[in-house]
């Protein structure tokens, strides 16, 4: 059984890219909050994207907020991800 956080993130992304968002979301739901460091934040962002696409607004909101909170003062390399999360939160508020 694969328990490596990086490999789980890649597996979820591959499933999402193949049109299997529920399977990808299930993988992220199982491990994202147990991951450490940046993998948990990247996983939360993917979780937010998937949840938003599936209409799971509360999960998407929580996950986007986690990204914004975790990287509240991002380096320039991480800024695009934070901007995406902020935009996601704004979209969810306007709906």
CATH number at residue 82: 1.25.40
Is the confidence at residue 87, as pLDDT, over 80? Answer: yes
Helices vs. strands in the chain: H and E counts, helices first: 5, 0
Structural domain tally of the chain?
Answer: 1
The boundaries of the domain holding residue 42 are 5-94
Amino acid 37: pLDDT: 81
pLDDT tens by residue, 32-78: 877 778 888 999 999 999 999 999 999 999 999 999 999 999 999 99
Is the confidence at residue 2, as pLDDT, over 80? Answer: no
Instruction: Let me know: does 65 contact 89? Beta carbons within 8 Å.
Output: yes
Instruction: Indicate if the alpha-carbon torsion angle 6, 32, 93, 86 is positive or negative.
Output: negative
Q: What percentage of the chain exceeds 70 in pLDDT?
A: 97
């Amino acid at each position: 059984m694969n328990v490596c956080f990086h490999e789980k993130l890649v597996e979820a992304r591959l499933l999402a890219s193949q049109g299997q968002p529920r399977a990808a979301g299930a993988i992220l739901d199982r491990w994202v909050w147990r991951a450490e460091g940046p993998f948990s934040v990247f996983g939360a962002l993917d979780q937010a994207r998937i949840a938003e696409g599936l209409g799971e607004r509360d999960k998407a909101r929580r996950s986007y907020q986690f990204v914004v909170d975790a990287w509240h003062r991002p380096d320039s390399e991480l800024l695009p991800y934070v901007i995406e999360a902020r935009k996601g939160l704004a979209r969810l508020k306007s709906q």
